[in-house]
Structure 1
C-alpha cells in the first residue's frame, strides 16, 4: 500500500486507487501521515480539522473519521504490510513503513542527493522531484493544510535549486530551462529561483533575456512590495552587466598575498548531533551580505561545536579563506586574548610580514579591514566576553561573514551592527540520547536503556555533561553504566562525577561565575538555594531583599550570562547542574545567616500571597488567624477571586516548595500557616494527594508548637483531605479530636464547620443517618452564631442526606433555601453545590430535563470559578440524566469528560465507577423509578467542603 501527500492526498493498494472519503477525513489521514510514527493528541487533531471554532460534537465526529479510516485500511489489506492506526496516550498514531509514504521517499532522496556528487546527485534529485504530482495536500481544506503546504513547497523549491546547481555545474543548461521557467513563474517573488534562471539564460547565450528578466522582477518588487532586490539577485545582475564576476577592490598590501589562503578553522567536532533549528537559522542568515551572527548560550551548551560544524559544512560559501580566534573570554585560567593580539595573528595569516605589522591597535584594525575588503571570507570569533573586545575584529566589507560565540547576549553589537542572535539551549531528550549512542555505541545504550534514561536526566541535555559522561563510559567499556548512574544519583556528588579538570562542568560554570559583579554573584548563590523549579520576579525581589526594579536589573545580569533563563515573562529558572553549582557557591561565599534570612523572606512572600489568595477563594470559611506572618514582605496585589486563582496557578509549585522548605527547617509556625493558606486552592484545583501530604506534615509542626487552635485546625483539615482522597482509617478520630480541641478553645464557629465536614465524610461512606445528625448540629450552631454561610452549607448537607434517605419532599426545600442563602451571601461555590443537590433531587423524582438545567448551571458556575475538584461530580450526574432521557450521545460525552478529570486528579474509585458506565457494568441509562424501592445513589455528595 502506498500513500500520497505530494499532490492530491490519496492511497493506492497495488494499482487500485483507494477511496479515502470526504475532505475532512482525508485531512485526518494527512495529519497522521505527516506525523507518521508519532502519536497525535486528540485535541491537536481537532484543532487542525476545525481551527478556531470546532463544533460541539467534534470528538465524536473525529472518532467516526478514525473508524472509517481504519475500515479503509483493513479492507485494503494494509495490516499485512505493517500499516496500523492505533490509539496512543490520548491520541492516535499511524504506524506505516516510511517507504510507503511519498513525502518520506522525497526527503530521503533529497538527503542522499545532497550527500552525493556528480551525475548520481542529479539522478537522485530528479527522482525526488518527480514524486510531486501537484501542490502538496491537494484537496485538504483548512489553515493547517495551508501552512503545511507552504512548508513542503519550500522543501520542493530547495530541492529544485540543488538540482539546478548540479546541472549547471555539469554544464547541462538547456534541459533546465523549461522546468526552471515554470517554477520561477509560479514563485514570482522567490529571488533564488530568479537568480538561477538568470544564470541558466546567460550560460545558454541569452544574456539580454536574463537582464530583461531582472528588470521585470525588480519592477514587480518595487510596485507590489515596495522593496528592492536582495543581495544575491543584485550581485547576479552586476555579474551579467560586466560579463564576469565583479572583481574585488584593489588594495595596497605590504607584500604579495600568499597563494595558500588562510584556512584556520579547527577540526570539525565528531559526533555532532541535533541543532537542526540553529543550523537552519545560520543557513538563512548566511545568505545576507555583511552578516554578523552571535551564537549565545550558557557554558557547555555546545556553541563552539555548532559554529565549527556549520563552518566546515559551509566552506564553499567562503572561497577566499577562513579566520579563527579563541578570545578566551571565559577561560578558567583567565587567559583573556586582547584584540590587538588577534589582529596580529590575522594579519600574518593574510600574508603581512611581521616587521610590517603596525604597533597600534587602530592601525592594525585598519590594515586588517583593507586586506579583507571585497573578499568572501568567514571570520569565527570564539568565546567572546563583551562587545568592546570584538569590535576591532569586525570586517568593514559587506562580503565577509562573522560568527561569534559567547555566554553573554552582546546586546551592544545587536544595537550597533544589527547582529543576528541565535540562542542555544540544551539538547532535547531524543538528541541527547542519539549523541550518547554515537559516542558509546548504540548496542550499549539499548542494552542498558533504563540506566541511560537516568543518566540523560542527570545531565539535563547539557552537551558538555554528556561529553564528560561519554568519555568516562568509553574509558571502561566493560563496566556497567549503572556504576556511573550511582555516582550521579546523589546531587551532592553530581558535579564531582562530571569533573574533567578545566574542561569539566564545574570549571565552566566557575568561569561564568567569576565574570559576575558582586551583587549578581550573591544573587546567583541565593537563587540556587531557592526552592522550586522556577521563580517569579516579585519572589526574587523578596529573596534578595531588593525593590522589584533593582531585582530586575540584577537578574538581567544573570540572564545575560546565561546562568538563569527567562522561560516565561518575569519568570526564571536554572539548569539543574547550574543550580547545583549555585548551591555550592552559596555555601562557600554567602554567610549562613544571610542565606537563612533570604529564605525566610521568600517563605514570607509566598505565605502572604497564598494567605491573601485563600481569603479571596473561600471568603466565608471561618479563619483561624486574621493575618499571616510575612517578615515585612509586601504581598502580591490581587483583588478578585479570579486574580487569586491565577496567582496560585502560577505560583503553586513555588508555594508548595516553600512549605516543604519551611517544614525541613522546622519553621513550624510558617509551615502550618502555609498549609492553611494552600488548603483552599488545593481543594479547588483537586490537588488532593498534595493536600494530604501538606496536612500530614503540618500536623507534626503544630504538635511541636503545642497551641490548641493550630492543632485543632490541622487535624480537621487532615481528616477531611484524607477522606476526600478516598482513605478511611483514622479519619473520624481526627475530626472528633478537632471538635474537642475547638470546643476547649471556645471556637464555636470552627466546631460547626467540623460537624459539617463529619457529615460530608459519613455521607460519602453511605452512613446517611449519622451524617444527617451532624448536618443538623452544624445548622443549629451556625444559626446560634448568626453565620449565614454556615447555615446555608448545613442546609445543603441536610438536603443531600435526606435525598439519600429517599425523602425528596423534605430534601428539595432545604436545597432551595440553601441556594437562596448562598446567592444572598455571594458564595459561588455554595451556589454550585446547592444547584447540584437540586439537580440530583429532581432527577430522583423523575424530572430529568429539569435536573439537566440545574446541573448545567452548577457546571457553568464551577467552571467560572475554576473548581475542577467538583466539576466531574456534576458531569457524571448530568450524564445520568441525559441517559435517563435516552440521549446517550450527550450522556457519554459528559461521562467521558468526567472520566478524564477523575483520572487527571488521581481519583481512582470515582474513575472506576464512571468507566463502569461505558463498560455496561452498571448502566445508569436504566435509572430506577422514583419510588420507595429506589435505593441511595453511590455518587459523592455535592456539599461544599
Structure 2
C-alpha cells in the first residue's frame, strides 16, 4: 500500500516506510501517476507531463527507463505498485491514499447537497499541507493541475467562511486574515475578511483593511476594487454594519411535560405561518385569554414545535404584565435583555432606549428568528420589541387582546378558551396515565366539571393525585366539597387555590406559601431567602417548601430555586394581607438577606479598597456564606434578577442605606459580567438614595461609582461631572478615592498625563491619611502611567513598592494587577525574558481568584514574550489557550486584549489577531 501526499512538499510511504525520492524527474513521474491512481496514464501524456513538449530523444524509452528507476526507489513492492498496461502505466494505489484526490472527492461531496455541507467542507481543506506539488518540476503540474487545485482550495475556504459567518463563528477571522495576506490580490477573500470584521463589531479595522487592498490593487494592477468590495466599504462608511458577531440564542423555556389537547389551536397557529419566501413583514401572533387558561404553556409548546423553521435562534422575555407583586418590565429593560441574549458587547451598546431598540431591530434584519414575549400588559409594552423586517416570528401572550397590535402591525389574534371536557380528560391522562383515568370515569368527570376546563386548576389536581397514586380519584373528587362548587366561566380560580392551600398539613407550610409567594421580590426564591422572610433558620423552611412543591403551589425549577404562577403570587399576597400583620418586617428581612449576602459575596470579588461599614442584620435574617470566588460569582449570576428587584424594593420601603450598600456590592460583579447598563442603573439608584439620606459621604461614594460605570459606557463628560460632584461632597478619605477613580476615567480616555496627575493627588491624600491600602493601589497606577509616558525606571520602582505593600496587606486582586503591570513595563522596555516571571506570578493569582479575563490577558502577554523572543510555536500555544478562555467571555474581551498587546508590541498584537 502506497501513500502519496501532493498538497505541499512531496511525501511518499510504502506501508509504514517513508520513501525519499531523489530530486528530479522521478518525483514528477510519481506525481502524474498518483493524480490518476487506479487509472492508466498514456505513455505520451507521461512524457509531456514530465519532460515537456520539447523533450528530445524517444519519449517512450525515457518513460520506460524512469519507470524502472521509480520502481527500484519504491523498493521490493515497486513492480506491483507500478504496472505496465497497454499504451501506458498505472499506479495501483487507493485514490483515498492520495491527498489531492481525497481532497477533490470531499469537495465534490460537499457540493452534492446542503445537508452537512459545513462539516464536509471543513474536512476537505484539512487535507491541505501547503503549495501543491511543492518541489516537483513539471510544467504541466505547475501550470494546469496545480492552479486548478489551488482555486478549488481557496473556493472551498471561502465557502467555509460564508458558512461560519452565517453561524456567527468568531474563529474565522484569524484564518481569513492569514489567507488574505498570503493571497494579497484575491478580492473575494478580502470581501469575506471585511464582512467578518464588520460582523465582529470592528468596523474601524475593516476600513483600514479596505484601504490596504485598494492601494495594493491600484499599485500592482492599476485597477479599482470590485463592486462587491466597494459595497462592503460603503456599508461601513454609512454605519449600517452589524456591530457584533451574530449569536444564535436558544432561550425558549422548557416545554411542559404532559401537554395534551389544543389540537384546533395548534392547527390554527400552524396556518398562520407563511412560507419564508412569501413573508413581507414580521409575523406576529397574539395568544390572548383569561388568567390560568394556559397561554404560556401553549405558546412554549408550539414555538418548540416550529423552532427549526427559525435557524437564527429563539428569544424569550417574561414581561410580567400581570404580576401584582412586581413591576411590569419596561420596554427599554426588555430591549436590553434581548440585546444581552444576542451577545452585544457592552462597549457596543448604544446609549438611550431609542438607539438600543434600533440596534435590536438591525440585528434581527435579514434573520429568521423566533421571539416569544410572554405576559404582555398592553400593546405599548410590546411595540418597541417587534422586529422591523420580514423573516421573524413574534408570539405574544396576554390577558388583553392587544387590539393595537392587530390594527397597527397586522398581528394575528388567537383567543384561547377554557379546555373542552375532552381536552381536560386528555390532560389528566397525560399526567396520571390512561389506565387510572379509565378506571374511574365518574370521578374524572366530576374533577373535569369542577375544574371547568382551567388548565392551571387541572394541573394542581393532577399533581395532588400523582403524589398519592394509591388514593382513589373518587376520594380526591369528594375532597372538593360543596363549598367549592363548579367554577363559572369567569374562572374564579381562588376556589382551586383555596382547596389546595387548605390541604397543607400545618400553619408553617401555609405561612411559608403566603410569604414566599406573596412577598418575595424576585422571580425565584432560595431557601435562605425564604427563611429570612419567615424569620427562622434555613433548616426549618426546607420541609414546608417541599410540601408546597408537592401541592403544586410552588415549582422547584432547579435545585433550591422556587417559583410560582403569577395568579398564585396574587392569591398569596391577598392571604398575606389578611393573615400576616408583619409583612413589612418580612420584606425588611429579605432585603437584609440580599444586602448582607451580596456583601459577603463581593468580599471574594473586590480587592481591599475603601472600608465601608454595614449594620448587623436584623434578627431572623439568614446570610449566605461563600467558600471562594467561584461560589460567590455563581451566586451573583443566579440571584441577579432577585438582587435588582430587592434594590427596587429597598427603595420603595425607604431603606436608602440598604440601596447604597446593595448597589456597592453589585459594582464589581456587574462590571465583570459586562452588564454595564445595569451597573449604571444601580449606581443611579444609589445616588438618589444618598440624596434622600442627606449623607454627603454616601453621595460622594455613589457619584464616583456612577462615574466609573458611565466611563465604561464611554460617557466621559458625564463621568467627570459626577466626580466633580463627589469632590464637592466628600471628606478627605473619600476625596482620595475620587481622585483614584478620576485617574481610571482618564486612563480609559487615553489621557495618561492627566491620569498620572490624578493618581498622584490620590496617593498624596492616602499618604496624609495613613491609608496603606489606598497608597498601594495609587502606587500601582503611578507606576503604570510613568511607564506609559516613557519613564520606565521610575515606573518599575513604583510598581515594585506597590507589590510589596499589596503582599503585606494580603490584597490579592491588586497584587495580580501589579505583577501584570511590572511585566508589561518590562515588555515595553524590550525585555520579554524579564517579563515572563512576572506574568507567571500574575497568572497564578488570577487563576486562584477565578478571574478568567485576567488569566486570558496574561496568557496573551506571555505569548507576546515568546513571539518577541522568536519562539513562535510557544507563542502560538499561549495564544490558543488565551483565545479558548476569551471565547467564554464577553465578545469585546478579544479586542481589549489586542489593544493591550498593541501598547507593548504591534507585531505581537498583529500575530495574536492573525494578521501575520
With structure 1 as the length reference, what TM-score do the two structures score?
0.48
More RCO (CA 8 Å, sep 6+): 2
